[in-house]
């Protein structure tokens, strides 16, 4: 084969692999992807709020986060009712960030919320407000187990590869 035909074939393979053979990361109502410094498996409510499991390459930990239409004080802890199609649980959320549209909260303890999500089909999170009112967000859990399992498998591989790469770097190098 001549050189220009090889280059043309290579360009074709690259275009097909980047368009036609994308990695499938959608599972029911959930999907996952790589994010800054880790991975995230996420779903959205009908109102555009999100529920996610976020894993960090740095410390190897994962955390459930929820976007709630209620502002919060950074670092503040808030009691919530977590309701699934089979039971209801009392849990806590910690404010991770907040703006005029609401807050992003970490749900704790991790093992409890993980088990609740993995065993349910739907989830609702209820926060008490002033004057006897409540704020509720609801999410589908269809595909959550498959999305999180696939994400975690890839997270562990990527974290191990990242760790190996970081160990090889020594001295004063620019990368």
Report the SS3 class of residue 93.
strand
The predicted-structure confidence for 60-95, as pLDDT tens digits, reads as follows: 999 999 999 999 999 999 999 999 998 999 999 999
The whole-number pLDDT of residue 163 equals 74
Low-confidence stretches of the chain (pLDDT beneath 70): 1-24, 164-175
The whole-number pLDDT of residue 172 equals 55
The whole-number pLDDT of residue 12 equals 35
- CATH tag for 27-167 (out of 3.40.50.300, 3.30.365.10, 1.10.10.10, 2.60.40.1880): 2.60.40.1880
Closest alpha carbon to 81 in 51, 112, 124:
124
Is this structure's pTM higher than 0.75?
A: yes
Cβ(106)–Cβ(64) below 8 Å: yes
Cβ(122)–Cβ(84) below 8 Å: yes
Domain ranges in the chain are 27-167
Tokens of 162: 């990242």
Report the SS3 class of residue 152.
helix
Return the DSSP state at 46. Answer: T
Q: How far is the C-alpha of 116 from the C-alpha of 148, rounded, in Å?
A: 14
């Amino acid at each position: 084969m001549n050189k220009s035909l090889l280059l043309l074939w290579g360009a074709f393979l690259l275009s097909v692999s980047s368009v036609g053979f994308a990695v499938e990361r959608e599972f029911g109502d959930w999907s996952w992807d790589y994010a800054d410094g880790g991975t995230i498996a996420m779903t959205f409510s009908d109102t555009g709020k999100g529920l996610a499991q976020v894993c960090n390459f740095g410390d190897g930990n994962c955390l459930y986060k929820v976007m709630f239409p209620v502002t919060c004080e950074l670092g503040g802890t808030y009691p919530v009712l977590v309701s699934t199609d089979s039971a209801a649980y009392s849990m806590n959320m910690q404010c991770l960030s907040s703006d005029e549209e609401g807050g992003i909260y970490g749900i704790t303890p991790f093992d409890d919320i993980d088990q609740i999500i993995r065993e349910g089909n739907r989830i609702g999170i209820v926060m008490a407000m002033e004057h006897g009112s409540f704020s509720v967000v609801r999410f589908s859990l269809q595909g959550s187990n498959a999305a999180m399992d696939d994400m975690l498998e890839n997270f562990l591989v990527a974290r191990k590869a990242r760790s190996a790469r970081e160990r090889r770097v020594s001295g004063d190098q620019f990368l």
